[in-house]
Amino acid sequence: MNNKFDDGLSVLISNLARIHSNIRYADAKSGVILLINIGLLKATYEILGTGDIFEEMTSYLFVLPSVILLMISSVICIFVIKPRGEEYSKGRGIGLIDPVRVAQYNNSEDYIVAISNADPENTFEHAYQLMWDLSNIDRSKYRTLSYALYFSMFSWLVFLILILEIAYKSQG
């Protein structure tokens, strides 16, 4: 345990807040990508509904990959947003700081007694464990988000080519 700093718990809580902010940011990014993808899927559906644009097979060569990639990316975005707390704190039992572990107390009175009687070493240990769990969640969310972003960017590029093709055909 690191007890060199008088305010070591405050440093830990500050780091926890920063990691939690990163997690919220990953969820927000994923939500934005998901909304863009859903909008593009709706636009693709409306384009397909016109019917007269697709006289040649080349248009379908852009539509199908775009739709598939948008759907894959959307599913990946949902996995980014999915909560992950329980899978990282599984098997540790009740705790003092981690919400998943605090929720395992029978009632709030039991938690109040436990937190009131906690010694600094025990509190530090729980804070370290929570930081470890949250940093793993953060890393996992950003890794998954990067996959969603790669699929999305490629599908956006394919969709842009489709739009350019439609614009070209409508002028000619």
Amino acid 56: pLDDT: 60
Rounded CA separation 139/40 (Å): 28
Amino acid 21: pLDDT: 93
Q: Band the pLDDT of 45: cuts 50, 70, 90.
A: confident
Q: Model pTM?
A: 0.77
Q: Is the pLDDT of residue 166 over 60?
A: yes
Q: Band the pLDDT of 134: cuts 50, 70, 90.
A: confident
Instruction: Kindly provide the b/e burial profile for residues 44-67, where b requires at least 16 CB atoms within 10 angstroms of the residue's own CB.
Output: beebeeeeebeeeeebeebbebbb
Q: Is the pLDDT of residue 37 over 80?
A: yes
Rounded CA separation 84/128 (Å): 18
Q: Which two tokens stand for residue 142?
A: 């950003």
